[in-house]
Each structure stands twice: as C-alpha cells, then as structure tokens.
Structure 1
Amino acid sequence: MTRCWYIIDAAGWRRIDVAPKRKGEKRWDFWSDFRVDGPGDTGWPAFTQLVVRASAQAVCRAIAELAAELEIECTDVSDQPDQWHEALMLNEQILADGQPLTLLSEPSTDFDARLLDPNAAELIFEKLGVDGAFFGHEPDAGTLMLSMYRQGLLALSWSDSIQPGPSHALTFYPDGRATAEDPRPFALSRLGQEPTSPFLDRYAYVAHELAKLGLDEISPLLTNRRISAALRLDPENVRHLG
C-alpha cells in the first residue's frame, strides 16, 4: 500500500512526495524539509551570522576593543574590497522606527574556519549591551542554531539537529532561573501551533524570532546586501574570538 501525504492550508492542498526519487537520495523530513519555497535541499547553506540592534560603527568598535583585549590584530578594510575575502562583513540597515540594525557574517570563509561562534557572539553582545541574535546552519548534522540576547544578556539558546547533534531549548530569566525544554515542541508553541504537531518548519521558527528584532528577510551570505563595513582579524593568532 502506498501512503500519500498532503498539506492543506490557506493556499489550498498539495501532495508531498516523501519517497526518494533515486537510489541514495534522502527521504523527506517532516521536521526540516517542509518549506513553502521548495524541499529541504533548497534551505540555508553553512553559515553563522549576528543580528545586532546597533550601528555597524558600534559593532566594529566593539570587535576592535575585544581584539585589543585579546591581543589580536584587527584591521578595518571597509575601503579595500580586495581584502574582503575571509573578512567579517557588516550590513547596516535603518528600521522603520529609525533605529539601526546590523548584520555581521563571514560569507567567504569556510564554515570550520569561521570566527563567529556562540562564544564570540556572547563576547560581542556583552560588550555592546544591546538586543540581538546569533544564528546559523551546520549542514552535516542538519543543525539550526539560534541564540537571542536582551540588553547584552543571553535570553534564549535554541538548537535542533536532524542527525545526532545539539538539540535543546534553554530559556534564561533575569532573576537567574533557567528552563530546559525539547526544542521542537518549544518552537511549535512559539509559532502558535500544537506542540505535538509533526509539521514544524524550523526555518520559519528562526525567522519568526528574528523578525522580533526587525529583520524581515534573512540573507545567510549577505547576498545583494550593501556592505557597510569590513574587518580582518589576524588568522595567525585567532581561531575564534572566544
């Protein structure tokens, strides 16, 4: 007997093909691959990124101060596009409320060589004392990661993996309390869905949280984004900021 799955929503109904089309192809995964714009293999590349409720200038200043404290050479190469390869790239935009929002990423750096990791994010947000987020995608385990910050302090650490890997939802409160939950029911609840639903769009959950900061469109590699600033850290002396 062949079992068929259908999605029924405001756009109508459509069949989901869960079987591999060719030998060796992966099966469709309810937890990750239901995307309105295509199957899971059209999702995000390997990347990490910071979303910061501050100007690009303020973010650059914080990174430069951290680099000085750690005795790491930091060079502003904003006016030298030929030096942008493997640099920290910043995109600043002005939100409707007139406040700046800066994206910080490393679009031309191999994932394993990236400087931006959870430790680096924590240092940067502690230095700035502002709201923001660290998020990314690690494709080997199918891991989506998200950390939310409030006034420089970690408020939420969420991670979910398709293969064995990091999976948690940790919420931190101002009074020192912390709670740990299963990441998938947690994400469903934040999206206003039943926590037992098999239809979790993990990407939509991350986008939902980032939208609270004013980010209306996610660009993992800053594609088609204006580069507002660029920094290079001496690769001989640092693997990550933390």
Structure 2
Amino acid sequence: MRGTSRDRILARVRRALADVPAHERPQDHPVPRDYLRTHGARTPAESADLLAENLADYRAVVHRVAATGLPALLTELLGRRGARRVAVPAGLPAEWLAQAPVEQVPDSAGLTARELDAVDSVVTGCALAIAETGTVVLDAGPDQGRRLITLVPDHHVCVVRTADQIVDSVPQALGRLDPARPLTWISGPSATSDIELDRVEGVHGPRALDVILVHDGRPRDEQAVTGDSAPARGL
C-alpha cells in the first residue's frame, strides 16, 4: 500500500480491529493490573532515604530540615546562588521567604518567558515525590504556579513534605494525581546528551535543582505512613 506513513499505520490499525464487533467498547474487557505497586516494604523514613538517594543520582542537591528551619535554609540556598530576583507562585507560604533579602517576582499570566529569563531562581512546593524513581511531580497547585516558571529560571528550589508527600512508586503516584491537571515530572536538573553521550544540562529547564525534604520535627519513625490514601496537593 502506498501513501503516507500515517495512512499505512491507520490501515494496519483497521486491519487489526477488523474482527472486533462494532458494539464492543474498551471497558468491556478490563485490563488486569496485577503488577507490583511497590518493590519491597519500607518505613516512611526508608522511603525518604530512597528518594534522597535517587534524587542525588540524578544530580539534584538534597537537603533535610525541620519545618521550623525551612525559611533559614531557603535564605541560605538562595544566598549561595547569589539570587536577587526569585519567582514565587501565588500560593507559596509567605513565611518561607520572609528572611530572604530577595525581590520576589509573583507568578502571573502576564509574566513572560523573557521576564522569567531575568529571574535568578524559583521556589515552589510540589504535588508529591516518588521514592523509587527519584521524581518530584508538580501539578500547578497554588504553591507551584504555572509550568513556565519552573522551566525558564536557571535554579529551582523545590520543597517536599516527608510526612505526606512521598509515595513509593509510580502506580501510587498515579492514584493520587489528577490527570486533568498540567503535570510536570522532574528527575534532577534538565539534561540531555548527544550521540557521544556528552551530558549537557539546562537544555529545557533549570541547570540546578535543590530539593528540600521537610520533616515536622517528630522522630522519623513516627511520621505518617506513605501510600494511596491522602490526596496529593501542594504545601
């Protein structure tokens, strides 16, 4: 059969479906989903440790702090970068940057990519983080803002609550995320490599990623169990 690649692919699909009754719908034949939801059992502390380890493998810089120490740590990290102008989602808790001597640039629909390119850093919360893959997921919640503000600035600081925002696996994450929201999955700084496997960072996102794991000050083995029960939302 001649024609475009699209024509040939669609013709193959039609041939494969030729014996399917016209009244049949996908939901008539449920797909068994009997795969493992997690790979091994972990305590919440072990899940946080695994997340930190995998984030570090992706060249993110991981920090741990009690909630009371978060403002001071954010001030320190932004100071190390020499950040003067910081993009801030509309719902970011005001106390997070209360100690930081920076100009806060509020996220808004009128904030352009060119204006964001002049911003030194962006600070956000997250929807959740996945321990087994070292992934932080954003869903444009109030403390995360538009996807644009985490793709243009060269430095992203992302805050994760260990008590209720860490899940073990991708299946657990998918059960808590809303697929209708704009989801951004982040595993380390933006990077790519050419045919020679030379790594280049900052191609389609920030060159530097700091992830702060925030605990509530209780002993780690008393913190909330991770899993599928609580809805994932930003800080």
TM score, norm. by length of structure 1: 0.25
Look at both structures and tell me which one has the larger radius of gyration over its CA atoms: 2
Greater share of residues in strand? 1
Greater share of residues in helix? 2
TM score, norm. by length of structure 2: 0.26
